[in-house]
Amino acid sequence: MEISAAMIKEVREKTGAGIVDCKQALTETNGDIAKAVEILKKKGLAKASKKEGRTAVEGIVMVKTEGKKGLLFRLNCETDFVGKTPEFKAFAEKIMDLVFAKSYPSSDTLPEDVEQLRKEAIANFGENILVAWKWIEAKGTLYPYVHLNKVASITDFGNLSDNAEVQDVAKKIAMQITSMNPICVSVDTLPADVRAEMQKTFEEEARATGKPEKVIENIVKGKFEKYYAEVVLMEQPFIFDEEKKVKDLFTELKKSTGVDLTVHQFIRLSLQ
């Protein structure tokens, strides 16, 4: 049977395999498209298994929001060259849209259809491919921000308006989160287990100095203040003016506009 260009195109669209491989599979199956697709998928899975476990720290980070629902999505590959191709971005969008549509929870074990697409991507791009995502459910208004497709955040703001000054502060806060990677919004939202762990660490370090208990308390307090400045959003130095803390932006905004902008929560995702 003659293998037409249209048949090759159809098989290629369904598998992402190369023209030569598609034609060979069609020849083997005497033009049976369904069987050709099955053969190529099996070959793809075989190729995929050989690439599992290889380091994959390049790729793309993307964001998708709809109403109160927000998704940060990451597709890793091995090389920056592959990660920047239009085909890779299109594949990332395909998987992200599937995850979003089915509201799959984030897990170390991928849903079957997502895993199938991941293995097809390995076969198509010839590199190990990894998939990860994070969800956020808004209390207020979601504000997505992506930096160079390498790191992204979604911030859940309270009282976000279209006012230009408010929007400017919201963008700067999103950039702060993306750049400085805080773990919580405020001191009182620091997870209890993290606080307990740091308390133990700081006390041990302070006591190792051999100083009196009262002095140790002050040392621990000082260490916590430094720690808050590193991991608590509101206590971090503002990236565009380190003389200010992030919380100062909200105070200044309220004075100038009357808008009491707040941050309910946020999520962040990067390539590594």
Query: Which of 14-18, 77-81, 234-238, 250-254 is the least confident region?
Result: 14-18
- How many distinct structural domains can be found in the chain? 3
Same domain membership, residue 154 and residue 97: yes
| Residue 42 dihedral angles phi and psi, to the nearest 5° | -65, -40
Same domain membership, residue 216 and residue 146: no
Q: Given this model, what pLDDT does residue 53 score? A: 62
Q: Given this model, what pLDDT does residue 90 score? A: 95
In DSSP terms, which residues pair with 265 in a beta bridge?
156
Structure token pair of residue 229: 């400045």
Between 103 and 46, where is the model more confident? 103
**CB burial class (10 A; 0-12, 13-18, 19+) of residue 4?**
exposed
pLDDT digits (tens, 9 = 90+) for 166-176: 999 999 999 99
Contact 143, 174 (CB under 8 A): yes
Same domain membership, residue 31 and residue 84: no
Q: Given this model, what pLDDT does residue 41 score? A: 73
Q: Determine, yes or no, domain membership for 268.
A: no
Strand, coil or helix: 65: strand
Q: Determine, yes or no, domain membership for 265.
A: no
| Residue 244 dihedral angles phi and psi, to the nearest 5° | -105, 155
Q: Determine, yes or no, domain membership for 123.
A: yes
Q: Determine, yes or no, domain membership for 161.
A: yes
Query: Which of 6-15, 49-58, 143-152, 221-230 is the least confident region?
Result: 49-58
127 DSSP assignment: S
Q: What is the domain range of residue 129?
A: 58-180
Same domain membership, residue 136 and residue 239: no
pLDDT digits (tens, 9 = 90+) for 45-74: 555 555 566 678 899 999 999 999 999 999
Q: Given this model, what pLDDT does residue 44 score? A: 64
Query: Which of 25-29, 136-140, 145-149 is the least confident region?
Result: 25-29
Residues near 245 by beta carbon (within 8 Å), at least 6 away in sequence? 229, 234, 235, 236, 237, 238
Q: Which of the four pLDDT bands, split at 50, 70 and 90, describes residue 8?
A: confident
CB atoms within 10 A of CB 183: 13
Same domain membership, residue 87 and residue 9: no
* Sheet containing strand 58-66, strands side by side: 58-66, 69-77, 130-137
Same domain membership, residue 145 and residue 94: yes
Same domain membership, residue 151 and residue 90: yes
Taking the alpha carbons at both ends of the chain, their separation in whole angstroms is: 50
Q: Which of the four pLDDT bands, split at 50, 70 and 90, describes residue 36?
A: confident
